[in-house]
Structure 1
Amino acid sequence: MRNVLVTGGAGYIGSHACKVLKSAGYNPVTFDNFITGWRDAVKFGPLAEGDLLDRDSIKSAFDTYQPVGVMHFAALSQVGESMQQPEKYWLNNVMGSLNLIAVAAEAGCKNFVFSSTCATYGEQDNVVLNEDCAQYPINAYGASKRAIEDILENFGQSHGMNSVIFRYFNVAGADPEGEVGEFHQPETHLVPLMLDAISGKRDALTVFGTDYDTPDGTCIRDYVHVMDLVEAHVLGLKWLEDGKGGRAFNLGTGTGYSVREVIDQSQAVTNKPVPHTEGERRPGDCTKLVSGSQRAMDELGWTPDRSNLQEMIRDAWRWHQNGHYNR
């Protein structure tokens, strides 16, 4: 069985990737320091506990498992925090990734799938972002991800590292079987925050900004079902294994939903009201971010069949009701 090192495999997206990798015939090896990940989410393959800022622990994982590829999800990802603490994001995201990429190159592991973000494009309103759009990130989170993309390009030129880069925005939903789901501490993502408010786990959802230049005044985002997303990552790994070389893909539906639309759909799916209040805009938030994915559909054969708002919320709500992780 072919081993794949999954950094951040105990996190939300990484744990779903491990599930899909296992079903595709790979052996997913979770590499995680459990600062934000959950031990309960490691259930589809072995664990190599370590930290990306500790190169020795990375090297140990490569020596032990000799992976055929890497899926790199581990990162700090809170936009607001990145605006307040940029040093934290450059150290953790960029230096940690540099350690990982360097060790992978030394080990001769040349297939690298990277979880980037459409935040690298910055503020480009009223367009469907594609891979040819200029990248001008407006926050430290997006800037750190853009820097990692550049590192991968450099290592491709110098070491023959082949990388598939996926840029995407809001991920929602959960595995329909309920084995893994979305749970962060602190929670910052809209859908789980909303479900917490519905179920009484928090007093109310805060809507950050109601004066954006959108039809209802709230910002607009493109949402992708987590299962669709991680299936694209497996397709990306197979793309590299087939020798097709480095490529960047956006993952989205091309359809944006406002915060108010997500609230309305959540009320319809759960048949419960969403308690919410209105707050000021957060620094670094864009008005409208919508990501097209035609390249991924045409070249990878990716189809985001589950990525409708109703299905994402329904799957997330089912998992939300079944309990949370313990570290």
Structure 2
Amino acid sequence: MAEEIDLQEQDDRELFEHYRFEADKGQALLRLDKFLMNRVENTSRNRIQNAIDAQTVFVNGNLVKASYKIKPFDVVTLVLAEPPRDTEVYPEDIPLDIRYEDDDLLIVNKQAGMVVHPGYNNYTGTLVNALSFHFSKLPTLPGNIGRPGLVHRIDKDTSGLLVIAKTEWAMTVLAKQFYDHTINRKYTALVWGDVLEDGTVTGYIGRSLKDRRVMDVYEEPEKGKWAVTHYRVIERFGYVTLVECSLETGRTHQIRAHMKSIGHPLFSDELYGGKKILKGTTFTKYKQFVANCFQIMPRQALHAQHLGFMHPRTKQMVDFDVSLPSDFQGVIDKWRSYSSMPEQ
């Protein structure tokens, strides 16, 4: 039973709301800790339970236990004594792999595992923290305070190229190109299954109703944002296929959600169901082979390999490419070798 301690009575503790979730009308009864696990990124069940025990989680304004069952339209809030720090940036001396730089912009090759900008549970060690150290002043887009230089992003465990604006002018021109979908972005991805032909995936991408960490593809416009991904086959390995994905739009987890929607989730993508054997044999040798691949590349097989755009100052088209990182190349080499062997 919820303890009758209303948020209004907590004013003297100066609590600040960090998260707020409202359960959908179709929400099945679900323990509070499991409900939050599905919605708060980069956390653990133990951390969620500690927050509940510390009385920083409220349901409909009341303190509850971890075993409380969430029902439709419940409002869950996570409050802490300090204000959210999403807009604070702390410079850190983190090495950057800069592939190009001039007075207006720089091209960075982001390593897998690096978060692009600070957010809840990721206040340090991000690309923005590194940029703030190496560059004393970078511009910020309206509504993106705390993300200096950024005009786009890629996921934490996706490697590859990002363009960073060094001036207000460059940021304005680059942001317009992203808005107009004139930026040329190509990703290399290893996906499950034998992709028979090149194609295009479309649909409205929005948050999953079952797991807020995941994006789903919908047919209804009101459920998400329109997204278009073109893909072409680079090389086939039987049970997996190496593809190139070109983006017309840049939605959250676009390639990951789109490829899963057509039955080809990214290899080793745990969040989208790709970190288990989806194609292949039942032989122990094959299972061990795939396990070894997962060990080499424990993150989704996605790399932002090409970036092309009109330079803000010269008005000339510029193109940048970066080779695959060692983990990705290592997995490709293993699959190429495996697929060339006699039938397993």
TM-score under structure 2 length normalisation? 0.23
Q: Output the TM-score relative to the length of structure 1.
A: 0.24
Bigger relative CO (Cα 8 Å, ≥ 6 apart): 1
Rg (Cα) greater in structure: 2
Normalized per residue, the structure richer in strand is: 2
